[in-house]
Structure 1
Amino acid sequence: MVARKLDSEANTLRDEFFSMARNGELGVADGVRRMRDMLSMTQPEFGERFGLTKRQVSELENGHANPKAETLARLGKPFGLSVGFVRDAGLQATKAVRRKKDA
Structure 2
Amino acid sequence: MARNRKLDPEALRELRQAFHEECQRGVPIGRAVKTMRTIAGLDQPAFARLLKIAPRALMEIERGHANPTLHTLEKIGAAFGLQVGFIPKDR
Whole-angstrom CA distance in 2 between matches of 1:53 and 1:74 = 13
How many Å apart are 1:78 and its aligned residue?
2.1
Whole-angstrom CA distance in 1 between matches of 2:40 and 2:66 = 21
Give the residue type in structure 1 aligned to 2:17: D
Structure-2 residue corresponding to 1:4: 6
Structure-1 residue corresponding to 2:17: 15
RMSD of aligned C-alpha atoms? 1.0
Question: Does 1:59 pair with 2:60?
Answer: yes
Whole-angstrom CA distance in 1 between matches of 2:78 and 2:31 = 17
TM-score, scaled relative to structure 2: 0.91
How many Å apart are 1:15 and its aligned residue?
0.6
SS at match of 2:11: helix
Q: Please identify runs of 4+ aligned residues in structure 1 that moved more than 6 A.
A: none
TM-score, scaled relative to structure 1: 0.81
- Structure 2: unaligned runs, 5 residues or longer: none
Structure-2 residue corresponding to 1:45: 46
SS at match of 2:18: helix
- Structure 1: unaligned runs, 5 residues or longer: 92-103
Structure-2 residue corresponding to 1:33: 34
Give identity over the alignment, percent. Answer: 30
Whole-angstrom CA distance in 2 between matches of 1:7 and 1:68 = 33
Whole-angstrom CA distance in 2 between matches of 1:9 and 1:54 = 26
Question: Does 1:75 pair with 2:76?
Answer: yes
SS at match of 1:85: coil
In the alignment of these two chains, the number of paired residues is 89
Indicate the structure (1 or 2) with the bigger Cα radius of gyration: 1
The structure that is helix-richer by fraction is 1
How many Å apart are 1:4 and its aligned residue?
2.6
